A = this chain, B = another copy of it.
Amino acid sequence: METWLPTLETASPQEGFELAVKLSRMAVKVAQPSDVARAEGRKEYESDSAQLIAASQVVAVNFQTVAAANGYWRH
């Protein structure tokens, strides 16, 4: 498998947030590797506010990890 997660360190909180989004999506990809199936699922969840909130929760949990890894980008 190709390397997609070489480090948890990012240059800024915002890049850390983007990495949290990526981690959330990769876990879905592991569970459902088919691009076609995921694209269909995406249509479902994009229009379901409960699922959008659940997705935001996953990003929040991953962002905790990334933020801790980066010492919260403290100045």
Q: Please report A residues at the B interface, Cβ cutoff 8 Å.
A: 1, 3-9, 12-14, 17, 21, 23-28, 30-32, 37-38, 40-42, 44-65, 67-69, 72-75
- Shortest CB-to-CB span from A19 to chain B, Å, is 10
Number of copies: 6
CA distance A65 to B1 in the complex (A): 23
Dominant secondary structure of chain A at its interface with chain B: helix
Contacts of A57 in B (CB 8 A): 54, 57-58, 61
A28 in complex: contacting residue of B13, B41, B56, CB < 8 Å: B56
Query: Does A52 lie within 8 Å of B23, measured CB to CB?
Result: no
A38 → chain B closest CB, angstroms: 8
